[in-house]
Structure 1
Amino acid sequence: MVSTTAQDANNILEFLAIILLAGVIFSKISKLIKLPDVVLYIIAGIIIGPNLLNLVNIDTYPTGNQLILTFGAAYILYDGGREINLKVLNKVKMSVILLSTFGVLVSMFITAFFAYKILHIEFIYALLLGTVVSSTDPSVLVPLFKNMNINAKLKQTIIAESAFNDAVAAIATFAVLGIITAGEFSLSNSLFELFKSSLGGILVGGILGFLSSKAISETGEKSGIFQEHPSEIALGAVIGAYVISDHFGFSGFIAVFVVGMICGNKKILNMYIPDEYFDTHLRFKEVLTIIMRMLIFILLGTHVDFGILFSNIGGALLVVAALIFVARPISAYLSVILDKKAQWEFKEIVYLMWVRETGVIPAALAGMLVSMNLPNAKIISSVTFATIFITLTFQASTAKLLAQILKLERK
């Protein structure tokens, strides 16, 4: 007789095998029909999920589901951090800060206003909805812009914003949730939490990024003690940065992003990895990132509850339209025009107004609200999944075309 633990392990292996097989098949289909792979992954998740074939049900594998979503998002953010050039980021740091703080708040309140008017719910719940959908998703944006040759300033602003605005959106969500459940709000406490979460994540990521880079790099005539194992050390640094940050109440996603930034800018610190080990790590990183994207977005597809989604579909679509065509353009424009040093061109600002894909973090927050049986949680969940599906299909699939129309792609 198979033990419960062994059976659970077998079930998780079966769960992973089904998702990976579906990911490979739908990745091939995406190339044939010229649609972004994340769109096909979500469709794959809907097909193999409880709505149709019921081959994968997240309620059966809650730990495996959470592990994939957390680690997958963290590793993709690390990969995104490696794409950042610190010299370029320094020129747009004010834009990134404003987009991921002031921009999130502006987007949150504008979306809340439209949700309040369209869905006829109390304003505090409309505000909660606005906080949940206000962040952008690095697990979509990082791979999307790695495959597009737009200018470094624009690319790195979009990626860095997606890394930092998750923390702001999450803190705002819990602040509004505190008002609803406890009937109180403290601006000073919320600002302190934001300060602690962001700076703590930067500190943890900076320390682990430096130590992991030192361990695998040549510095002058000295070789790193683990230079033959860059992939293993990177994995340890990503997991360690996330776990340590989470333990102390810091932002784990900011921490892993900073680890990636330091690892991707070793040469500034006069550290180098020999070519043979660098090539091995690069191949490993690319394959693991592809696998994580498959797992994350197929799982996201299995989360979609059509009963909830279609029960509020008309109002949900109007709120998503307000988010895409009103809230994001206004919040992006007001954020970047305040940064004179970045010298943004109008066509670059237009592009920033359009790019705002939603994904993993909003889905997790919406799921948490439903599990709490909060009033209007199902309406918030409906709008969240409509936002995810529309921004991933409509906006992600048109990002490259818009860059070409605005002549932002370089040869």
Structure 2
Amino acid sequence: MIGSIGLILILGLLGGLIVSKARLPNLLGYLIVGIIIGPNALNLIDVSVTDISPKLRTMILIIILIRAGLGINKKEILKVGKPAILLSFVPGVCEGLTIAFLSTIFLDFTFVQGGILGFILAAVSPAVVVPSMLKFMEKGKGGSITTLILAGASIDDVVAITIFSSFLGMYGGAGFNIGSILSIPIGIILGALIGAILGIVIVKIMIMLKLDNMQAVFFILGSAFLLNEFGDFIKSYIEIATLLGIMAMAFIISSKKNTTAIRATLGNIWKMGEIFLFVLVGAEVNVPVAINAGIVGVLIICIGLIFRSIGVYFSVISTKLTRQEKIFCMIAYTPKATVQAAIGGIPLSMDVAGGEIILAIAVLSILITAPCGAVAIDIAGKKYLY
């Protein structure tokens, strides 16, 4: 296991450096390395590491969301209220329903099967989007745009996963569950509320104990891990919005205390976490399975993204953003990775008809949108953000 961790760090670092020479995002190199050394190719990663890969990815995602929460400016978040709410569900619903309909035509799926596929693909990847936005924020670029995308994308996954679960329930004979749909706003409110309360408590403890920078980082990380575990334990409304709660917790801490040093320390931790995250996501990718999805899979993904982009455009149409900035928002909402890797295989494991095709298209969406989206965000951000 220790050797595999060393291999991931060294080869991931080298892959990132090689790709960066071509002025491409490092994560593209990490993904490629993961695919090559993963269990579906050279199989150089010890099974003990792949077994705990979902937990490791969750821990690293928590670090990403803490950094995002700490980086959000209170004044900026107030500016992006309505568009952020629209971005949290309009693009994903547009994409998910479009793919559900297309699946009935191209894959001979029922609408329920198509809905399962559609809302697996409808989730944007916080693992790609959040770090990209944070990089622009650290450079002082983007202003309210990056905050808008961070806020919307953090809820986007909650909506997609919940609707996916509802379609999965309908396939299993449970029928349409209005409770699952109602759990979206309830979960978001409860998750944010619990995160905010925890953030206030953490600030008071940090001041009372006079924690130094590193101690504060450990305390915040520990609290976030426990909050995530609490959501997993209770298996209810709060579970679906735990990650949003973590982001809210960090936002409250940042609004009540100077967190410049804490953000810098977490940024250094993230440099190692980034390698682990994308190498492990790459290791989940089965290229032969993705290839089997063929041209039809690519077509479904691309048309879905077109309708997703239309949803993004209508979500920000009433804002004062320039045309170029609206285009940037559309591009920023394209990458898929972590959610697709996490739930793409669930229909197959539950014997859903067409489960292999669903998994293949989910994998294909990672291969196409994660690297292309990351590169496009980087290029468009440098060109359109000020």
Is the shorter-chain TM-score for this pair beyond 0.5, marking a shared fold?
A: yes
Q: Name the residue aligned to 2:283.
A: 302
Equivalent in 351, 371, 377 of residue 393 of structure 1: 371
Q: What is the one-letter code of the residue matched to 2:276?
A: L
Deviation of the 1:272 alpha carbon: 4.1
Q: Name the residue aligned to 1:184.
A: 175
2:303 is the alignment partner of 1:322: yes
CA distance in 2, matches of 1:126, 1:190: 18
- Write the mapping of 1:51-70 to structure 2, written as runs, cut at 5 A: 51-56=40-45, 60-61=48-49, 63-70=51-58
Deviation of the 1:162 alpha carbon: 1.6
CA contact (8 A) 1:48 1:54 kept: yes
CA contact (8 A) 2:13 2:30 kept: no
Q: Name the residue aligned to 1:286.
A: 267
Q: Name the residue aligned to 2:83.
A: 95
Q: Deviations over 1:223-269 (max 9, x none)?
A: 54434521111111211221223333312211111122122222xxx
2:250 is the alignment partner of 1:260: yes
Equivalent in 328, 331, 341 of residue 363 of structure 1: 341
Change (3 A) 1:31 1:154: same
CA distance in 1, matches of 2:254, 2:123: 25
Q: Deviations over 1:288-316 (max 9, x none)?
A: 21222211111111111223211122111
CA contact (8 A) 2:92 2:122 kept: yes
After superposing on structure 2, the runs of 4+ consecutive aligned residues of structure 1 that deviate more than 6 Å are none
Deviation of the 1:213 alpha carbon: 2.1
CA distance in 2, matches of 1:369, 1:352: 31
CA distance in 1, matches of 2:30, 2:190: 34
Q: Name the residue aligned to 1:241.
A: 227
CA contact (8 A) 1:49 1:57 kept: no
Deviation of the 1:167 alpha carbon: 0.9
Change (3 A) 1:199 1:63: farther
SS in structure 2 of the partner of residue 147 of structure 1: helix
Q: What is the one-letter code of the residue matched to 1:154?
A: I
CA distance in 1, matches of 2:247, 2:185: 17
CA distance in 1, matches of 2:100, 2:46: 32
SS in structure 2 of the partner of residue 54 of structure 1: coil
CA distance in 2, matches of 1:311, 1:227: 53
2:312 is the alignment partner of 1:332: yes
Q: Name the residue aligned to 1:168.
A: 159
- Write the mapping of 1:18-97 to structure 2, written as runs, cut at 5 A: 18-56=7-45, 60-61=48-49, 63-97=51-85
Query: When the two structures are superposed, what TM-score results if normalisation uses the length of structure 1?
Result: 0.86
CA contact (8 A) 1:328 1:354 kept: no
Any stretches of 5+ residues in structure 2 without a counterpart?
none
Equivalent in 129, 147, 158 of residue 156 of structure 1: 147
Deviation of the 1:61 alpha carbon: 4.2
Query: When the two structures are superposed, what TM-score results if normalisation uses the length of structure 2?
Result: 0.91
Q: What is the one-letter code of the residue matched to 2:12?
A: G
SS in structure 1 of the partner of residue 320 of structure 2: coil
Deviation of the 1:204 alpha carbon: 1.8
SS in structure 1 of the partner of residue 93 of structure 2: helix
Equivalent in 375, 382, 386 of residue 353 of structure 2: 375
Deviation of the 1:183 alpha carbon: 4.2
Q: Name the residue aligned to 2:325.
A: 348
CA distance in 2, matches of 1:61, 1:375: 31
Instruction: Report the identity percentage.
Output: 23
Change (3 A) 1:178 1:264: same
Q: What is the one-letter code of the residue matched to 2:286?
A: D
CA distance in 1, matches of 2:106, 2:331: 23
CA contact (8 A) 2:12 2:33 kept: yes
SS in structure 2 of the partner of residue 330 of structure 1: helix
Any stretches of 5+ residues in structure 1 without a counterpart?
1-10, 218-222
SS in structure 2 of the partner of residue 101 of structure 1: helix
CA distance in 1, matches of 2:216, 2:374: 32
- Higher helix fraction (1 or 2): 2
Deviation of the 1:17 alpha carbon: 2.0
Root mean square deviation of aligned Cα:
2.0
CA contact (8 A) 1:209 1:237 kept: no
